[in-house]
Structure 1
């Protein structure tokens, strides 16, 4: 019997294989958030935020935290007509649509995931910086998240 040879190619993706042998992508290794020794996959939190009825898009990054090393920060785009719980700028809060709060989103995540996955910071945004191929530039979001956090925003 011939031995099996495996050819591995580094893609930067992290995945898990289930008991049936199916591979499930859990996210990008470079996007992993390490909070107090716990590995947090942004995709897991993004999927839960995206399932909220008022959320159009969500992107999660890690930002520095004095106590835990990193903490979860979410950049959230809401559906048209949905208002947010703070003054963000022109074009926000117009109309009489539903209001979504940061606390509502945190509670939503807490109901579905472990407490350490709940975003400490939530930043409202209308769009994300993207590459020409349409991928979100997470490194730019991380830089912006650090600036906003340091300015006392997002809590």
Structure 2
């Protein structure tokens, strides 16, 4: 994790003015003059800092930290891949497993199964091999042109929940599964099965995930 200190690091935001002066708010990011940047990095023998991605984008598989860049670089090396983004998908056993989203060159003939094999054979460690490669029209971007991975995490979560519901006999429309975000975390609302036996199975299945979820209070429209 990259932390920086020096005259360029400000003391914090002014949250309010009090009789004793301004009260500063640092959101926990500044401690004893050091700013937690949220970036992953390494320093080489010459003292240069090399950025390696955002800490919040780490995929944590069974307690093992996986940097998405290692998966993305492998996929980008394929001649028909134009963009790639790897995110964590909820998993009942490992907590998260990596999945990848890619865009392809016009007229590309490679299919997701081939890309999955390509990535599996080339990633630096077995744990980083993606469980699935999904081809999409475009990688969502933020206002400054960076990949919007939270949106992809929402999609991956919805797919995982939808597959689990189907496995438990609770088929539903994908649009009935509502995924929301708050402070970077994902919250899921699913329709409650009318059949109590199915509902019991769904509850037991979803509780195995490290997932913030609940049943809808009323039918999702």
Instruction: Report the TM-score, using the length of structure 2 for normalisation.
Output: 0.55
> Is 2:38–2:54's contact at 8 Å kept on the other side of the alignment?
yes
Offset, 1:150 = 3.3
> CA RMSD of the aligned region, Å?
1.6
Based on CA coordinates, which of the two structures has the bigger radius of gyration? Answer: 2
Q: 1:131 aligns to what SS in structure 2?
A: coil
Equivalent residue for 2:79, pick from 53, 61, 66: 53
The answer to whether the aligner puts 1:12 opposite 2:38 as a matched pair is yes
Moved over 3 A (4+): 149-152
Equivalent residue for 1:69, pick from 95, 105, 129: 95
1:21: which partner in 2? 47
Q: 1:39 aligns to what SS in structure 2?
A: strand
Equivalent residue for 1:30, pick from 34, 50, 56: 56
In 1, the alpha carbon distance for the partners of 2:141 and 2:99 equals: 18
> Is 1:55–1:77's contact at 8 Å kept on the other side of the alignment?
yes
Offset, 1:11 = 1.7
In 2, the alpha carbon distance for the partners of 1:104 and 1:115 equals: 17
Gaps of 5+ in 1: 1-5, 83-98
In 2, the alpha carbon distance for the partners of 1:23 and 1:107 equals: 33
In 1, the alpha carbon distance for the partners of 2:146 and 2:52 equals: 17
1:123: which partner in 2? 134
- Greater RCO between the two (CA within 8 Å, min separation 6)? 1
Q: 2:35 aligns to what SS in structure 1?
A: coil
1:142: which partner in 2? 153
Q: 1:108 aligns to what SS in structure 2?
A: helix
Alignment length (residue pairs) = 131
Offset, 1:10 = 2.2
The answer to whether the aligner puts 1:111 opposite 2:146 as a matched pair is no
In 2, the alpha carbon distance for the partners of 1:129 and 1:78 equals: 14
